[in-house]
Amino acid sequence: MTPTGRYSRRRFMGTAAEATALGALALALKPLAAIACADDLTLTVYDPRFPAAEPTARRLAGVGRLLRTHGDPTSLLVHWTALQPGFPPPRLQGVTTESIPFCLEQCRPGSRLRQERLDRDLFVWHIEGA
């Protein structure tokens, strides 16, 4: 409210834009249930450079492991390509820019990648090894 107790047009438009953005975010989060498969064997990563990434990744991870990545897939590539005999292929999921799952998919041809755009910068994704 303005000091006079009335809403200004600018304030009204700002509130309407925020409500629209929250509604869009809620619709984007609905498909997360279909993508998520968090358990003890799944590692969930997020890019802390983006404010929406961490809360979304926490919901996606549930009680699973959570890891920060700053746009550099190097540590994930080591995890993704280091298969031990007798162990199931690693599963990774995250809320990052598109480059992270792209690099992972390129290092493991035949892997299964599912991803959805969350906003202009972020993707919600899940990848399993072949």
Co-location of 22 and 38 in the same domain: no
Residues 40, 23, single domain; the answer is no
Q: Of 127, 107, 103, 125, which is closest to residue 115 (Cα–Cα)?
A: 125
pLDDT on residue 35: 47
Residue 33 one-letter amino acid:
A
The pLDDT of residue 61 is 85
Q: What is the pLDDT of residue 42?
A: 80
Q: Quote the pLDDT of residue 125.
A: 94
* Claim to verify: residue 38 and residue 26 sit in the same structural domain: no
pLDDT at 92: 85
| 54 and 21 inside one domain | no
Structure confidence at residue 3 (pLDDT): 54
111 and 47 belong to one structural domain? yes
pLDDT of residue 12: 67
Q: Tens-digit pLDDT profile for the chain (130 aa)? A: 445 556 677 776 666 666 565 555 555 554 444 444 545 568 899 999 999 999 999 998 887 788 888 877 777 776 666 655 566 666 789 999 999 888 888 877 788 899 999 999 999 999 887 6
Q: What are the start-end ranges of the E strands in 1-130?
A: 42-46, 65-68, 91-96, 112-117, 123-128
- Looking at the fold, whether 124 and 61 belong to one and the same domain comes out as yes
Containing structural domain, residue 49:
31-128
d(CA 85, CA 1): 63
Residues with Cβ within 8 Å of 97's Cβ and at least 6 positions away in sequence, in order, are: 47, 71, 121, 122, 123
Q: Is the full-model pTM beyond 0.75?
A: no
Total count of domains within the chain: 2
